[in-house]
Amino acid sequence: MIRSISGGVCAAKGFTANGILCGIRKGRTKNDLSLIVSSVPAAAAAVYTQNKVKGAPLTVTKQHISDGKAQAVIANSGNANTCNANGIEIAEAMCRLVADGIGISENDVVVASTGVIGQVLSIDPIAKAMPALIAGLSEEGSDAAAQGIMTTDTVKKELAVEFTAGGRTCRLGGIAKGSGMIHPNMATMLVFLTSDIAIAPALLQKALSEEIVASFNMLSIDGDTSTNDMVTVLANGLAGNPEITEENEDYLAFAEALHAVTSSLCRMLAKDGEGATKLLVCTVTGADTLTDARIAAKSVISSSLLKAAMFGADANWGRILCAVGYSGAAVDPGQVDVSFRSAKGEIAVCEKGAGIPFSEEKAKEILSEDEIDILISAGNGAFSATAWGCDLTYDYVKINGDYRT
């Protein structure tokens, strides 16, 4: 049984965190530097953006956790440290500052950055802030750390769950950032997960890699895949369960908890999309294959035309069929049914690929809510999938029109 608890990335035994303002970007008043530390070395796994242009921190992190181990995560916001001639040098310097400050190897530090691309990142403010960042580490530090990775986010994203494996109570928590430039092909923006479960690094990586396909890869805010997308998970084994070394019941329990956390974070990220006023959840059922269900759902949630229609509470279901049609999914348009649902009720708008009479007034009432389900039946197949997104508003253009300035 999975139970929601408080604590975020500090819910699991042995983890502390902190976040502070160090002044990376002029005029910023929110935290911009975060640190998460395990009291003991932990199994580590990560997934990275598939964009060919990658932030320097991803290259350094991939090297550091190649042995399946890590003990700390350092992350900054306000500057992506991407497309910089000295990017690798700066990322390595950030790891070295953490390592020297807490007494571990710099090769056991995960590093991440988010913010503006192509601006030089100075190590000076980070170096000056490191003593205070480390001194402030605490078991109550998840909130501060979650704030430290925010850019255009309007709310912090953190949660934790408790579950049982090997007869022991285990915990898994996470924090995430992301409002725009989200259309992942592996993960989404920055997500840091921590657990006290004992699990072999190879199985931790397998669980994360498989989970990404069903969660973060089904999320889209604006169709842009970031250069810095990364999801990492540290598992330090302090729960005391027998180490998971095979895909047994304990592995499945961990995988279920992982999905509970990642899918919840997806909802949070989608709802806080840049300029968004509505969370959109598209569920495709009746597909002949899981791949077809996922492709169709992701295509609908990524459609700019559909997102704009949802902003205007316009039940323009033709845009849904259009998105399904060009998605590449093996779906018979003549078998597609479409409905909209929210707290105000549910309304069918399309059956067997054709329009049906419905109340435009009722549809507008349903679509005026801040959480909307787009329900698509693709036929009589056995497979289904869910994708998360948001509406497209005037404010999205406003935010991204002067993002650097």
Q: Which active-site residues does the annotation give? A: 188
Distance from C-alpha of 277 to C-alpha of 77, rounded to nearest angstrom: 24
Helices (H), 178-225: 201-214
Distance from C-alpha of 19 to C-alpha of 136, rounded to nearest angstrom: 8
Q: Which class for 67: exposed (0-12), middle (13-18), buried (19 or more C-beta within 10 A)?
A: exposed
Beta bridge partners of 387: 282
Would you call 393 helix, strand, or coil by DSSP? coil
How large is the C-alpha radius of gyration of the chain?
Answer: 21
φ, ψ of residue 69 to 5 degrees: the values are -130, 150
Q: What is the 3-state secondary structure (H, E, C) of 62-106?
A: HHHCCCCEEEEEEEEEEECCCCCCCHHHHHHHHHHHHHHHHCCCH
Would you call 378 helix, strand, or coil by DSSP? coil
Query: Which is nearest to 151 in space by CA: 129, 122, 182, 107?
Result: 182
